[in-house]
Structure 1
Amino acid sequence: MGMSVSRPSQWLYLTGSCHEVGHTWNPSCIYCSCEILLFVFLGAIKIYLPLYLLSNVRRLGDLRWVLLSLLPNVLRSAVFLSINGGGFVAFLCAVRRLFGRFYFYSSAFLPAFLASLCAIMVERKSRRALLAGYVSCLSIEIVHSVLKSKGLIKSLPFGEVLIFSLASAVLLHRQGTNRSSSQDGVGSLLSGLFRPPVECPINICNPIVTNLVWGGAWGFFCGYLVQSLLSLLSYWKKIKNKTASIKDWLGNKRSVKFGLFLASFVTWFKLSNWLMILFAVPRNLRMIISGLIAGLSMIFVRSSALSLYAGWKAMEIVYFMAVKKGYVKSWYYGDALLYAFSTAVVFHSVFFEGHHVREAYWKFMIDVTRSRLLHIQFPTVDHFGTNSSIRPNQFIQKLSSSSD
């Protein structure tokens, strides 16, 4: 296996075969592609089946709907994800044969783009925008981390708070001025969070104070409950191994902080909105300002992932408003191309600079491929100068220490 040392670095190349660099566990390209496709398909079933069941729990009594709609949708989504995984290996080998070597951008980005484009065309059109939004946020987070590590950009102090505040202004303005907004996912979440005013059981209660208190309490309950459930899996293993107790799980600081985040989000929005009503501020302006103030609640959690997702949804709303008014044109395959490009960025980063990828996503990639990802010859890929071995080595060391 050879290595050219020409410059610039993106024109460096590896002359090793796809078996020597990529699917090192088996020399057959077809076998490895099908194996990863099967592994990802089975993993996707485990992900999508409970997800679709929970999101459609009210319709589970309709056997006809379960057989003709739910199960086909689960299988379709599983096929989509499996093509994304197995297709990456297939295109990795095909592109290697086409160029005769591994170049920087043909090693992972191009195969991932082609595989993702094929995969997303299998998925339902109604889910493409959601998937594109998720991986776009993830890719932006990765690119930001890469650029920051290279000293090309600097972090903006409280940047995630600013992004979330601006996004909240757009989301809450849409929520307060558009009755049909509660039909989508974010709208439904906001509708559930800002429940109808609660009647005070005591006549002497001030309605405004009562609803502020109840609204804040409901927000805290939702935030605390959601974060506690999300952390249950990791704490369950610790409780089982007697390295943590139920008290530790219930008193988890992150759960409390997330509760405070949603409590302040609801309370600050309601308080600022009612104050502006007293001064007869127009409804549209009132929703925007109240949203900006409510968004400052991000100070309690400082989550870049949540801020980026909210920012993406806000940009999506602005875009569709511009389309509706004729300022820009809508492109039918825009979400598919965005998904393919963003996923290619993520796969490229996993291949070359995994230490910039969110740990949860890295673990997901390991689990869904049944650790086949760790068989890539990352030390060889290091010749590109990207330190690609950092994250795999960290993961293996962590795995070894936990087994001891």
Structure 2
Amino acid sequence: MAAQSKLAEIAFNCTCQEYIHPWTSSCACSAAGMMMSIFPASLRIYGTVYLLALIMRGRIPSLKDVRRTAAGILQSTAFLSLNGSLFILAICLVRQLLGGFYFSTASLIPSLLVSSISLAAERPERRTALAMYVANVGIETLWKMLESRGLVRSIPNGQVLIMGLSVTALMYMYRAGLHKTVAKDATFKGLGVIVGKEEEGPLKTPTVTTSQSSRQRPLNFRSITAYLQLYDRFLTTKHPSCPHKRGCAPYALLGGLKPFLGGVGLQVGLKLLLNIPKIFQLKMQWRKQIFNKGSLQLGLALGIFSLLFKTTSCGLRHSCGYDSAIFAIPAGLLGSIGLLQFPNTTVALYLMWKSLQLLYNWGAAEGWVPEVPHFAMILYGLFTAVLCHATILEAQSMRPSYYKFIETISGSRLSRFNLKPFEAFGVGSQDQANQVINKLGIVWNSPYPKFAMSV
């Protein structure tokens, strides 16, 4: 108990200089140095993103487009720079206000105080997208933090279950036509490519048929004509309520083949794009990178999902005698079997947050749930606080790529934070940080970070 009390006293009495800016005694200089480090890095990032968006429009940009793009780059850069510098300053101010560091004030509360304020500097149309991205990474990080404490336990293919439920919810909204009214989003364009425009809602006036008007004669398989008639029925048989023109069987089969080919092409194309230098250097390992089962994963997932979704939907229309948006629920759940071929956590969490966002928009429009003012900013603030806490104090719960990103834009500051005084918190913060730093191969090229501004 005495040793634990001593450690707690060391953590509480740790100064912000010992913790986050040992190269300077000035908190203001530390925050200014962070801003000067983040600004050029974020300028490169957002410059690339906005310019690519401008090029992908497929037309020669006007002077107005160029001005709007330049303004967007500068505004987004200012947002990210402000977020990082205010975070450092908030840690120092909270410590001075409370007289020391607690577990929640070392990172979580300072970030919570400044993140939503920083987001106000970003363009309004980008705030929701940023909140969704941060929530995506944040919920994964929060789960790992809880899992490390033994409070939760991952289940096999849990991400596929999340993905399946999310896609099913999105497909119901797509078939109900909500994507044209209260749940507008670009995600539905992707769904339209996968399952086709035929399944798009809102549904037309349903054609109810309980029985066929004329029974088809039984086939006599002793003659070749019967096989030709069977083939013709295979190509043409469809229920009157089915929204597609061709027969149900070719509709489902072709509906599975097209997404399969598209998914394979997309995955192979991305691999080729990422390996352009190796291709020109004739060092590309084609069999290892391209000609393997991994290149089929996305295609199989999309193809099987579309095939099962359309087969189930047509089967329900034949069985019930009418079409309904509610059929998207069993069809989506059965189609989710195909997603086992592509168990991607990032995609699963993105779809989860997107479906929750659109369901919330629908509920708010109908008056079922209250509309929370500035919800995107609140969501961004909460999960940014989780990410900042995990990045500093529980680094092994953070995605390595995100840790590397923060280390880069901060000018090599993150890896220099002194976390040894916080051993009393019981999460081994310094050991976790050291393991992540070694895993990522982070090496200091200078005893000081970029723009140290030593005083």
TM-score (norm 2): 0.77
Report which stretch shifted further, 115-124 or 221-230.
221-230
Cα offset, 1:183, TM superposition: 5.0
For each residue in 1:7-36, what CA deviation from the matched residue of structure 2 results, as whole angstroms up to 9, or x when unmatched? 998x98331221211123433322221222
Aligned to 1:271: 311
In 1: Cα distance, 2:329 partner to 2:121 partner: 38
In proportion to residue count, which structure has more helix?
1
Give the aligned residue type for 1:268: L
Q: Does 1:156 align with 2:196?
A: no
Q: Does 1:311 align with 2:352?
A: yes
In 2: Cα distance, 1:112 partner to 1:293 partner: 42
For each residue in 1:179-214, what CA deviation from the matched residue of structure 2 results, as whole angstroms up to 9, or x when unmatched? 5279522122222333457xxxxx989344444444
Aligned to 1:180: 180
Aligned counterpart in structure 2 of residue 368 of structure 1, from 409, 433, 445: 409
Aligned to 1:114: 113
Give the aligned residue type for 2:400: E
Aligned to 1:171: 170
- CA distance 1:26–1:401, shift in 2 (3 Å): closer
Report which stretch shifted further, 229-238 or 123-132.
229-238
Q: Report if the CA contact (8 A) 2:394-2:433 is conserved.
A: no
User: What are the within-5 Å matches in structure 2 for residues 217-228 of structure 1?
Assistant: 217-228=257-268
Cα offset, 1:268, TM superposition: 2.0
Q: Report if the CA contact (8 A) 1:227-1:258 is conserved.
A: yes
For each residue in 1:158-180, what CA deviation from the matched residue of structure 2 results, as whole angstroms up to 9, or x when unmatched? 32222222111110111122252
Aligned to 1:351: 392
In 2: Cα distance, 1:273 partner to 1:67 partner: 46
- CA distance 1:137–1:281, shift in 2 (3 Å): farther
Give the aligned residue type for 1:49: G
Instruction: Name the SS for the 2:429 alignment partner.
Output: coil
In 2: Cα distance, 1:396 partner to 1:8 partner: 24
For each residue in 1:346-369, what CA deviation from the matched residue of structure 2 results, as whole angstroms up to 9, or x when unmatched? 111111111011122122212222
For structure 1, list consecutive stretches of 5 or more residues without a partner in the other structure: 198-202
Aligned to 1:137: 136
Instruction: Name the SS for the 1:332 alignment partner.
Output: coil
Instruction: Name the SS for the 2:368 alignment partner.
Output: coil
- CA distance 1:292–1:402, shift in 2 (3 Å): farther
Q: Report if the CA contact (8 A) 1:139-1:346 is conserved.
A: yes
Aligned to 1:127: 126
Larger Rg: 2
In 2: Cα distance, 1:148 partner to 1:306 partner: 20
Aligned to 2:328: 287
Q: Report if the CA contact (8 A) 1:83-1:115 is conserved.
A: no
In 1: Cα distance, 2:275 partner to 2:293 partner: 13
- CA distance 1:30–1:241, shift in 2 (3 Å): farther
In 1: Cα distance, 2:34 partner to 2:47 partner: 20
Instruction: Name the SS for the 2:373 alignment partner.
Output: coil
Q: Report if the CA contact (8 A) 2:10-2:421 is conserved.
A: no
Q: Report if the CA contact (8 A) 2:195-2:310 is conserved.
A: no
In 2: Cα distance, 1:398 partner to 1:212 partner: 47
Cα offset, 1:228, TM superposition: 4.5
Cα offset, 1:287, TM superposition: 1.6
Aligned to 1:200: none
In 2: Cα distance, 1:53 partner to 1:393 partner: 37
Give the aligned residue type for 2:264: Y
Higher-RCO chain (CA-CA 8 Å, sequence separation at least 6): 2
For each residue in 1:78-131, what CA deviation from the matched residue of structure 2 results, as whole angstroms up to 9, or x when unmatched? 211111212111111111221221111111011111221111111122222222
Output the aligned Cα RMSD: 3.2
Give the aligned residue type for 1:397: N
Q: Does 1:216 align with 2:256?
A: yes
Identity of matched residues, %: 27
Aligned to 1:35: 33
Give the aligned residue type for 2:263: G
Report which stretch shifted further, 166-175 or 124-133.
124-133
Instruction: Name the SS for the 1:278 alignment partner.
Output: helix
Q: Report if the CA contact (8 A) 1:139-1:343 is conserved.
A: yes
For structure 2, list consecutive stretches of 5 or more residues without a partner in the other structure: 199-230, 236-245, 445-455
Q: Report if the CA contact (8 A) 1:19-1:26 is conserved.
A: yes
Aligned to 1:191: 192
- CA distance 1:64–1:388, shift in 2 (3 Å): same
TM-score (norm 1): 0.86
